[in-house]
Amino acid sequence: MATTPSKNQKRPAPVLETRRQVMSAVIAAFPGGRESAAARLGLHLKKLDNHLYENAGSQPLTDAQVHQLEQQAGTAHLPDYICNLYGGVFVPMPEQGELDNLDLYARGLSTSQMRGMVDQLIAKSLDDGVICEAEVQAILAAHRQHIAARHSEVTAVIVLHSKASE
């Protein structure tokens, strides 16, 4: 019998489907919202809105502008979106200074938890013998997070224990 994830487990977020959704999510996550994001980019609020909604012949924000906002917002919506276009998974590389054996242990636990979530979603989806499209999307979103966590775990071990770190 399948179990559903507890409320303490993080539900996998689906990858955003359009660049406009990406830009809106980045702006929504930016500390201080649209006004602060506009100021960070050196734009008037109306100009930012024109770029976001491609009004008045405005082009969308550039990758560099979105990256600049995401660095401060702590999100990775744009690389997630782009990687998903190619069927891949975005995994940020760990920094040497943030790693220790306790961190490696925590990463391992997180990876195991994410794999368990994938397995739970599959089992729950198979309860009725058919996996519907919504269940496929939930399973694949959880799977992307699991694969990204595993890759991050492996690269963290390499970074922490490579000769360059000695």
φ, ψ at 54 (rounded to 5°)? 55, 45
Cα 163 to chain centroid distance, Å, stands at: 30
Q: What are the residues whose beta carbons fall under 8 Å from the beta carbon of 20, sequence distance 6 or more?
A: 52, 53, 54, 60
Domain locations in the chain as residue ranges: 19-86, 101-161
Tokens of 145: 């997070």
Residues 73 and 29 sit within 8 Å (Cβ to Cβ): yes
Q: Which CATH architecture has domain 19-86?
A: Orthogonal Bundle (1.10)
pTM value is 0.68
pLDDT truncated to tens, each residue of the chain (166 aa)? 333 333 333 444 567 889 999 999 999 999 999 999 999 999 999 999 999 888 878 899 999 999 999 999 999 999 989 998 888 888 888 777 778 889 999 999 999 999 999 999 999 999 999 999 999 999 998 998 899 899 999 999 998 888 764 4
Separation between Cα atoms, residue 141 and residue 166, nearest integer Å: 37
